[in-house]
C-alpha cells in the first residue's frame, strides 16, 4: 500500500498527530451513513458486475474527466457519450491509458486521494498509476470486477454502509427501490425526492413533466392546488419506499412567501409558458417555501444546494448534455434570500432545512450565524469542489465558533463513483479528527469531549439530521 500513508491528513506535529490518531482509531471503522449521493439504484436491485475499470473510474466521474479536458484531452477520447450518439472512444483500455498518462495532473487533488484509496483498499493495487503500470492495473481491476465479491451488493456490505440514499426525480417510478425493498437483501438503499424537473419552469420539457406528474398522481397539475397535491402524493410515495429527505438544486437560494392567490396566479403564468425570467425565478423561490411547508407536515428533511451556474459552456452542453464538469459556482446572499422561508417556517420544530453552499464566504458570514440561532436550520457539509481536505478544514474553522458542531449534519459523499465512498468518508473522518486534535492540543477542547464529537460528526449527527 505504497500510496497510502497511514497518518495521511492528520496533523504533522507529533503531539497533535498522536491525539488525532487516537480520535481517528476510535471512529475509523464506524458504519458509513451516506444520506445524499448519486449512485444508481439499479446497481443494487440488479447486482450485476461493473463493466470495466474505465467505466468505473473515468467516464462517470466528472471530477476526473473535467481535469483531463482542461489540459486539452477531448471528451470523445475519454469515452464521454455524445448527445447525438456519434461514436466516441469505447475501448476501456485506451481510455485507461490516457488517464494513467495524465495522472500527474491530479497531484494534491481529492480525486487523487480517492482513486489511490480505492485502488489500494478496494482492489489491493500496490503500485502508483502511471503509463508504466496502466495495463497491469487495468487487467487486475478488470479481473476483480468479474468476481462475485466485487458485485455491487458485496461491495456495499464490505464498505460497511448502514444506509445509502440515492437522488431520484419526482417522476421516477422508483422501481429499483421497490425491487430492493422486496428483495431478501438487507442493504438499506433509499430514494430522495428531487422535484427540480417539475418545479423549475426553465427545466427541459417542463410542460411535459407536469403532464407526467399528473399521470403519476391522478391530480390536475394545471391547477395550483392539484399541482401541490401532486407533490404531496409523490412525497408520500417516496416516503413509503424509505425516503427521509428531499433535495433541491436551484440556481439561487431565493425564497418567497406569496399569498395563496398570488402564488396560484404565478403558477398559471409560468405553467402556460407566459412567464418572464423573473416569474420563473419567483416561482422557484415560492416553491422552496411550499416544500418547506410540506416538510413541516410530512417530516421529510429538506436539502437545498443553490448557487451553481449550470452548463457554463454552451457547446459542451449541446454536444454532450448536462453534468460534464461545467457547473460553475457564483456568489450568493443567503441572509436576504432565505428570509421569506425562514420567517415562515424557520422557528418550526418540525422542519429540518439543510443548506449546502458553493460560496465559502457564506459559511462564517451568513450560514453559521443563521444556523446558530434558527432551530430549523442546519449547515450541510463542505461539498462539490470543497469536498476536499482544505475545503473541510475551512468549513470547520469558519462554522464551528458560531454554530458549534451540533448545527452541522456530518459528512455526505454526494457521489456517482461507488468505489470512492469509503475513501471519501475516510477523508472526512481524518480531517475532522485533525481539526479536533488541533482544538485539543491548543487547549480549546478536552479529549473526552473531542472523542464524543468525533463520534457524533461521523455517525450520530447524520443519522439524527436525516432521521435515518
Looking only at residues 56 through 85 of this chain, which bind a second copy when binding is defined by CB under 8 A? 66-67, 69-72
DSSP 59-95: TT-HHHHHHHHHTT--TTTTTPPPTT-------HHHH
CB of 309 to a second copy, least distance (A): 5
Nearer to a second copy, 127 or 222 (CB): 127
Nearer to a second copy, 30 or 105 (CB): 105
In the window 327-356, what residues touch a second copy (CB under 8 A)? Answer: 327-331, 333, 335-336, 339, 342-343, 346-347, 349
Secondary structure E strands in 138-280: 161-165, 168-169, 189-190, 193-194, 245-248
User: Which residue in 30, 47, 372, 416 binds a second copy (CB under 8 A)?
Assistant: 372
How many residues interact with a second copy (rule CB under 8 A)? 92
**CB within 8 Å of 21: residues ≥ 6 apart:** 7, 10, 433
CB of 313 to a second copy, least distance (A): 6
Characterize the bridge pairing of strands 193-194 and 328-329.
unpaired
Nearer to a second copy, 34 or 407 (CB): 407
Question: Residue 310 CA to chain centroid, in angstroms?
Answer: 16
CB of 354 to a second copy, least distance (A): 14
Helix axis angle, 14-27 to 447-455, nearest 10°:
40
202 binds a second copy (CB under 8 A): no
Cα dihedral value 80, 415, 50, 28, nearest 10: 150
- Nearest to residue 192, comparing CAs of 157, 241, 159? 241
User: Which residue in 370, 409, 451, 465 binds a second copy (CB under 8 A)?
Assistant: 370
In the window 422-441, what residues touch a second copy (CB under 8 A)? Answer: 438-439, 441
132 binds a second copy (CB under 8 A): no
Nearer to a second copy, 38 or 112 (CB): 112
Nearer to a second copy, 41 or 380 (CB): 380
User: Which residue in 373, 455, 460, 463 binds a second copy (CB under 8 A)?
Assistant: 373
* DSSP-derived 3-state class of residue 355: strand
Stretch that binds a second copy, among 13-21, 45-53, 194-202, 296-304 (CB under 8 A): 13-21
318 binds a second copy (CB under 8 A): no
CB of 110 to a second copy, least distance (A): 6
**CB within 8 Å of 4: residues ≥ 6 apart:** 116, 117, 120, 121
54 binds a second copy (CB under 8 A): no
DSSP run (H or E) holding 463: helix 461-465
CA distance to 245, 303, 397, per residue, from 195 (Å)? 12, 12, 33
368 binds a second copy (CB under 8 A): yes
Query: Please, are residues 9 and 114 in contact by the beta-carbon 8 Å criterion?
Result: no
Stretch that binds a second copy, among 25-33, 144-152, 276-284, 320-328 (CB under 8 A): 320-328
In the window 383-412, what residues touch a second copy (CB under 8 A)? Answer: 385-386, 388-391, 397-398, 400-407
Nearer to a second copy, 149 or 314 (CB): 314
In the window 101-130, what residues touch a second copy (CB under 8 A)? Answer: 104-110, 112-113, 128
d(CA 434, CA 7): 10
Amino acid at each position: 500500500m505504497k500510496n497510502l500513508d497511514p497518518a495521511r491528513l492528520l496533523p504533522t506535529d507529533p503531539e497533535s498527530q498522536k491525539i488525532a490518531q487516537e480520535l481517528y482509531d476510535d471512529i475509523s471503522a464506524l458504519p458509513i451513513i451516506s444520506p445524499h449521493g448519486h449512485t444508481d439504484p439499479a446497481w443494487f436491485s440488479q447486482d450485476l458486475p461493473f463493466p470495466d475499470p474505465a467505466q468505473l473510474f473515468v467516464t462517470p466521474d466528472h471530477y476526473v474527466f473535467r481535469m483531463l479536458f482542461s489540459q486539452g484531452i477531448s471528451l470523445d477520447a475519454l469515452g464521454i457519450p455524445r448527445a447525438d450518439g456519434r461514436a466516441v472512444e469505447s475501448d476501456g483500455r485506451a481510455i485507461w491509458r490516457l488517464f494513467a498518462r495524465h495522472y500527474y495532473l491530479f497531484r494534491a487533488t481529492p480525486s487523487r486521494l480517492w482513486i489511490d484509496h480505492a485502488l489500494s483498499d478496494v482492489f489491493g493495487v500496490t503500485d502508483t498509476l502511471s503509463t508504466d503500470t496502466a495495463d497491469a492495473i487495468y487487467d487486475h481491476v478488470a479481473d476483480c470486477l468479474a468476481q462475485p465479491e466485487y458485485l455491487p451488493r458485496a461491495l456495499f456490505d464490505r464498505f460497511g454502509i448502514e444506509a445509502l440514499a440515492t437522488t431520484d426525480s419526482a417522476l421516477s417510478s422508483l422501481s429499483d427501490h421497490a425491487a430492493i425493498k422486496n428483495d431478501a437483501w438487507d442493504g438499506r438503499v433509499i430514494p430522495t425526492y428531487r422535484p427540480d424537473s417539475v418545479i423549475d419552469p426553465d427545466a427541459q420539457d417542463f410542460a411535459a413533466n407536469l403532464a407526467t406528474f399528473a399521470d403519476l398522481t391522478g391530480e390536475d397539475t394545471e391547477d395550483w392546488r392539484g399541482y401541490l397535491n401532486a407533490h404531496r402524493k409523490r412525497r408520500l410515495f417516496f416516503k413509503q419506499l424509505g425516503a427521509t429527505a428531499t433535495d433541491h438544486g436551484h440556481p439561487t437560494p431565493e425564497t418567497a412567501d406569496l399569498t395563496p392567490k398570488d402564488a396560484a396566479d404565478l403558477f398559471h403564468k409560468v405553467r402556460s409558458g407566459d412567464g418572464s425570467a423573473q416569474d420563473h425565478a419567483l416561482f422557484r423561490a415560492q416553491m422552496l417555501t411550499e416544500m418547506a411547508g410540506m416538510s413541516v407536515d410530512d417530516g421529510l428533511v429538506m436539502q437545498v444546494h443553490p448557487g451553481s451556474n449550470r452548463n457554463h459552456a454552451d457547446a459542451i452542453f449541446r454536444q454532450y448534455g448536462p453534468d460534464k464538469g461545467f457547473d460553475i459556482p457564483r456568489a450568493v446572499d443567503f441572509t436576504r434570500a432565505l428570509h421569506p422561508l425562514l420567517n415562515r417556517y424557520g422557528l418550526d420544530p418540525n422542519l429540518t432545512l439543510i443548506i449546502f453552499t458553493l460560496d465559502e464566504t457564506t459559511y462564517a458570514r451568513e450560514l453559521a450565524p443563521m444556523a446558530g440561532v434558527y432551530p430549523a436550520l442546519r449547515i450541510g457539509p463542505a461539498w462539490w469542489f470543497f469536498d476536499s481536505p482544505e475545503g473541510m478544514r475551512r468549513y470547520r474553522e469558519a462554522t464551528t465558533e458560531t454554530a458549534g458542531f451540533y448545527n452541522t449534519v456530518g459528512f455526505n459523499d454526494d457521489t456517482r463513483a461507488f468505489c470512492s465512498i469509503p475513501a471519501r468518508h475516510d477523508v472526512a473522518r481524518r480531517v475532522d479528527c485533525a481539526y479536533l486534535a488541533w482544538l485539543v492540543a491548543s487547549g480549546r477542547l478536552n479529549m473526552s469531549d473531542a472523542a464524543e464529537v468525533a463520534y457524533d460528526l461521523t455517525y450520530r449527527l447524520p443519522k439524527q439530521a436525516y432521521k435515518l
